[in-house]
Every structure is written in C-alpha cells, then in structure tokens.
Structure 1
Amino acid sequence: MHRLPNRPLALDCLRTFEAAARRLSFSAAAEELHLTQPAISRQIKGLEEALGAQLFHRGTRRIELTLAGQTLQRTVQPALARLDSCVRQIRLSHSRAMVSVTTFPSFASLWLMPRLPDFERAHPDADLRIAASDRLVETEDVELDVALRHCSADKVPAGAVRLFGEVLTPVVSAGLADAIDRGHAPRLAQPADLTEHTLLEMDDGHSPSTLLSWPRWLAGCGLAHLTPRRWISVNYTHQQVQAALAGQGVALARLAMVHDALARGDLVEPFGAGGRRWAEPCYWLVPLVPPGGRTGAAAQRPEVRAFSDWVLAQAALTRAAIGDVADPETDAHAD
C-alpha cells in the first residue's frame, strides 16, 4: 500500500470506518450510513491505502479489526463523538434558548414535570430537554446544563446545592383509607397492623434503595421481623406511588414526591406525621459546565440561570411542605 504522510484523511472515510468497526459489518455500516455496501468497501480500501495499513481481516461471513484497526478505532470513536457533540452545542446556541436537564425518572415524573407549567409561563421563549435516566452522566457532558440528583452528601459533585432532604412515610390511596375506616379492609392504626396488608417496595438494585426500604423503616419501629400479607416489588419510585394510588397496598413513599397528592387527598398517611422518618440521601441541583468553562453564575447562559433559580424556588416550597429546615445557602457542596 502507498501512503501520503502529510495528506489529511477525509472525514467521510473516518465515519465509514467507525461505523464498520463498531458494527463489524460492511453491510450494517452501509445501512446505518445510507450507502451501498460497495461504497463502504471502496471508502475502507481508500482509507487503508492512505494509511498504508490493513484495517480489517475480511472473512467470508464476517470482518475483524486488525491491530492497526483497533488502534485507529480507539482514537476515532471518541473524537467523532466529541465533534458531533460540539456541533450540536453550537447549533443549540444559535437557535432558541434551550436548557438541557438530566435527572432520574421518578424525580422527573413525580416532582419536576408537574411543576414545569409554572416555569413555561414565566419563560415562554425557553425550551427544555429532560433526559431522564438512572445512569449518572458525566458532569463534563457539553450537551447538558443542569443535573438534579439524589445521593448522600459525600457522593455529590462539587458545586452542588442541596434542594431538600428525604422523608419517608407510609401512604395508601384515599379509597383504601375509606375502606379501612368502613371496616371493609383490615385496620391500619399502628405499624404492627401492616402484617395484614400488602407492602409496596421499591427495589432497583442500587445501594441507596436499602436506606429507603420497608425493612429499614420497620426496624426503626421495633418491628424488624414483621411479615406483611405479601410484598409487591417494583423498579421505580413512581411505579410504587402509582400502585398505591390504585389501592394495591401500602407504599413507603418519599414525602417530597407525594406531598402534592397528600394535599389533594389522593393519598393518605395512615399513621400521620408520626410515621415519617428522615433518611440520609438528599436531592441536589448540580450546575454542569463544559470542559474549560468557569463555574458559577457567570458561566451560565441566562436561560440556565433562570431555570436553576426556578428549581431552587420550587425546592424552597417543598422544604416548607415537608418540614425541612436546612438552609441550602449554607449547604452548597464545595471542593
């Protein structure tokens, strides 16, 4: 193969190589890039000639990366991802104002989304993109502006501001509470009565969930060995709340997520405020700054600052509703 050491490589060829290397198939790469398979083969061959090295072992039914191909893939894949991310960020910055927020699904469903109409009325020219995922994203992701997280203080990133704490409380639907009052369902006057009820448990496999579990709450009541009529386990907090609203059992709810439903009368605390227990994790607002950016208000676009201020104002209302007297102004997490 002949190579030209000073000749830059065409970006199209590198995109073709990245797709073929990732899929280990010229056909799959052709489908992904909306090209023909012969076009993919020609581009790969041209790239190999430009490099003076074979990138793929070509078999009858499959292809494999050579050592040179593996070396190139390790550089090309993240470089293209960064380039695409940068392009998207530039496009966003020259279009309508947009705030990109990452949070976990239950917080988005139960706390953030019901409040968004208030923000939209105050800021009609700002678009929002909500990325709800259980995966903790990197704080250097240039496509994201704000993270709303749930964790203990020792795990929160620098610069985070505490929104409110975690209070757990048993809740049932208004319908089930009425059935209990009428004697159509087993009594539920004290925690020991839970032995006659179905307990709705959130079990997502993450260690923080053990701090928010029924066994821990029951142990705090001196009922570590209590066995309910049955268990129903779900993966997400919002599923647990939905099951409670449907009258399927007693949920150990996060008060900050359900206090609106309690105020409306959709949910009822059978043990009142006496059933509430504080837990270690808290909710946090984390400003996300692109690599090389400066932290603080000066680094944020006006719409991001407006959204962050709005979240903090809404969090103050939640703190008042759940009896959280902590001061977030003195509870920012620094290096």
Structure 2
Amino acid sequence: MHRPIALGWLRSFEAVARHLNFSAAAEELHLTQPAISRQIKGLEEDVGAALFARGTRHVALTAAGQQLLRAVAPSLQRLDATVRQIRMAQGRNQIQLTTFASFGSLWLMPRLPDFERLHPELDIRITATDALVPEGDPELDVALRHCLPERAPPGALRLFGEVLAPVIGRGLAQAVAAGQAPPLRVPADLSAHTLIEMDDSHAHSVDLSWPSWLAEKGLEHLAPRRWLSMNFTHQQVQLALAGQGVALARLPMIHEVLARGELVEPFGPAGRHWARTAYWLVPLAGMGARPRPEVRWFCDWVVAQAERTRCAIRDEPEADTLAHCD
C-alpha cells in the first residue's frame, strides 16, 4: 500500500537520530518527550520496522533506522534550503542563529518578543546544538555559546560571566520558613534535602556541579537526602520551581525568576559561586566581513540585553560595565 509518511514524524525521527536522545530532540523541536515517542512509534508502525534500539540509558539506530536516515537527512536539508530561498525571494529577511537548548529556553526566548516588536519584518530561525562553531550550515549568522575563555572561538564577544547559586521554589521556601520542611540556614543543612544535579559530560561542567560547590564550602563529604539528575539546566529549574529539591542554578539564566520570587536563594548572595566559564556571542556568516544590517541589529540587541544581565548578577569580571547599573 502506498501512503505518504507524515513530515512531522520524519523531522522527529531525524532529530532523535542526530541526538540519539529523545529528550534532546524534544527540546530542539519544542515538543514534549511523550509526543516525540508517539511520533516515532507511529513512524515505526507505518514503516513496518523498528528504527531505534532502546536501552535503559541509551538509544541506537537499527539497520532500518540507518537506512531511513540516509534518505531523510539530505531531503530535509534540501526542503529547508528551498523554503529559505522562497522566503528570501518574497522579501523577508531572516536571521539564523544557533544556541544550546537551556540558554535558548531560559534566556533568549523570553526576551525575543522585544526584538520581534522592534523588527517585525524579520524572520528568526533558531537551531539547538552544543558545537562551538557548528559545521554543515553555512547560512548560520550567529552562535550564542557557553565555554571557558580559552575555548572561545575567534571573534567571540563575551556577554557575561557564570555564577551559580543554590535555589529552591517558593513553595519549598515557605515550607522551610514554617518549619514544615528541614531548615536551610547554612550549607550543611543540604544533607536533609534532595539535590538536583546536572548530568552533563562536558569537561567544564565539573565546575558547575554540586560536588565543586560543596568542596568550596568545605563540605566534600556531604551526603544529601538523595540526588536527582537531569540532562538540561532548564529541567533543573523546572524541578526546583515544582518544589522537588535544591537546584544549583546558573544565575544569568534565572535572575528574573528570582526577582519575581518564584525561586529563592536560601543562603542569599553568600551562597553564590563564580565559575570560569562565560557566555559568548559568536558571529558566523562571513567572519571578517561586514555582516548584513539585520544581523548587526540582532547582535546589538543581544549585547544590550546582556548588559542588563551583567548588572542583575553584578558581573564582577566586567566591573567597568557596572558603572552603568542602577
């Protein structure tokens, strides 16, 4: 029987095959993980073969999955390129940028309506990847990245530094204050709480982890009530908001949530820890050449937004910018 395959299923398949991770694919496509799983199941039923071998902690392509990926990946690339050409031909300029999933979710996307209000004539395309300088997409204009200074690509502009802070949701903070949950007056009190940890394989992520923070406080051997590990920073934040434990959050990405009182720093500013990593804006298209006007507008807007973040977190490495902060 000849019947068409849903394009959305193929996009989900290609994303899972590229990441070998259902959660990462869901983040990239702005879908839930159950939705991605349902689409893959539907595609497997339609194709009549298993496309992924699912293990307890890993996902791998089957032979059928590899065969389908060889057909799907270049087809989607050609389709996307054609759509971009049509849009350009219709007179709508486009900014194409890449960032990592949590930064996009927590920092960039909440601010994008401001840029869209200033430039409603522009289309924006965002892709999620951790590669410092992505390969294979020459049309990308800008990358927003997080890395150690010595790893920053040539031409990268430092936006702001990294500072970590233990945070809890408003509900848990109220329970602690009312004596309905164990106290959180000093770091040693963490032993009675769940610590929400980031499960990240990047080398610099060691400095962003609970063990590093605890060692700085002289608590190398502290054993919490339990550990709860997640892949992405924004998942940690969501768990903290839900009252599931104490997250070691990245302040540049959550300072507005703190200002609204939805998250609380139980140890206050004394619990903050500056890391060596920083956030960067990296120009990609035509590096060394003058960028298109719309790309300059976007970069200038990002820099202005970054200055507000620097002021909010009191970015000490950029002390000369603090004179502009209220």
For the criterion TM > 0.5, the same-fold answer is: yes
SS of aligned partner of 1:211: helix
C-alpha contact (below 8 Å) 1:85/1:142 kept by paired residues: no
Aligned-pair Cα RMSD in Å: 2.7
C-alpha distance in 2 between matches for 1:220 and 1:236: 23
C-alpha contact (below 8 Å) 2:132/2:153 kept by paired residues: no
C-alpha distance in 2 between matches for 1:270 and 1:86: 49
What residue number does 1:302 align with?
A: 293
What residue number does 2:102 align with?
A: 106
Please, which of 234, 238, 241 is the counterpart of residue 245 of structure 1?
Answer: 241
Residue deviations 1:79-112, cap 9 Å, x none?
9999988766654543411111100000000000
C-alpha contact (below 8 Å) 2:101/2:128 kept by paired residues: yes
Work out whether 1:321 is the aligned partner of 2:312: yes
| Unpaired segments ≥5 residues, structure 2 | 1-63, 65-69, 322-326
Structure 1 or 2, whichever has the larger Rg, is 1
Output the amino acid matched with 1:201: E
Residue deviations 1:228-286, cap 9 Å, x none?
00000000000000000000000000000110110000000000000000001100000
**Alignment CA distance shift 1:320-1:187 (3 Å):** same
Please, which of 198, 213, 235 is the counterpart of residue 217 of structure 1?
Answer: 213
C-alpha contact (below 8 Å) 1:180/1:186 kept by paired residues: yes
**Alignment CA distance shift 1:329-1:194 (3 Å):** closer
**Alignment CA distance shift 1:163-1:171 (3 Å):** same
Please, which of 142, 151, 172 is the counterpart of residue 176 of structure 1?
Answer: 172
Please, which of 157, 162, 173 is the counterpart of residue 161 of structure 1?
Answer: 157
* TM-fit CA distance, 1:138: 2.6
**Alignment CA distance shift 1:185-1:85 (3 Å):** closer
* TM-fit CA distance, 1:133: 2.5
* TM-fit CA distance, 1:194: 0.2
C-alpha distance in 1 between matches for 2:85 and 2:304: 30
C-alpha distance in 2 between matches for 1:80 and 1:329: 50
Q: What is the 5 A alignment of 1:200-279?
A: 200-279=196-275
Q: Please, which moves more after superposition, 184-193 or 92-101?
A: 92-101
C-alpha distance in 2 between matches for 1:135 and 1:170: 28
C-alpha contact (below 8 Å) 2:87/2:93 kept by paired residues: yes
Q: What is the 5 A alignment of 1:60-209?
A: 90-94=85-89, 95-138=91-134, 141-209=137-205
C-alpha contact (below 8 Å) 2:133/2:153 kept by paired residues: no
C-alpha contact (below 8 Å) 1:103/1:131 kept by paired residues: yes
SS of aligned partner of 1:144: coil
C-alpha distance in 2 between matches for 1:329 and 1:159: 21
Output the amino acid matched with 1:323: R
C-alpha distance in 1 between matches for 2:77 and 2:261: 49
Identity %, equivalent residues: 59
Equivalent pairs counted in the alignment come to 250
What residue number does 1:55 align with?
A: none
* TM-fit CA distance, 1:141: 3.0
C-alpha contact (below 8 Å) 2:115/2:301 kept by paired residues: yes
| Unpaired segments ≥5 residues, structure 1 | 1-61, 63-72, 74-78, 331-335
Q: What is the 5 A alignment of 1:281-292?
A: 281-289=277-285
C-alpha distance in 2 between matches for 1:294 and 1:108: 23
C-alpha distance in 2 between matches for 1:327 and 1:139: 31
**Alignment CA distance shift 1:80-1:197 (3 Å):** closer
What residue number does 1:46 align with?
A: none
C-alpha distance in 1 between matches for 2:78 and 2:115: 32
Output the amino acid matched with 1:307: F
Output the amino acid matched with 1:211: D
Residue deviations 1:114-157, cap 9 Å, x none?
00111011111111111122344536732211000000111111
C-alpha distance in 1 between matches for 2:80 and 2:244: 45
C-alpha distance in 2 between matches for 1:90 and 1:328: 44
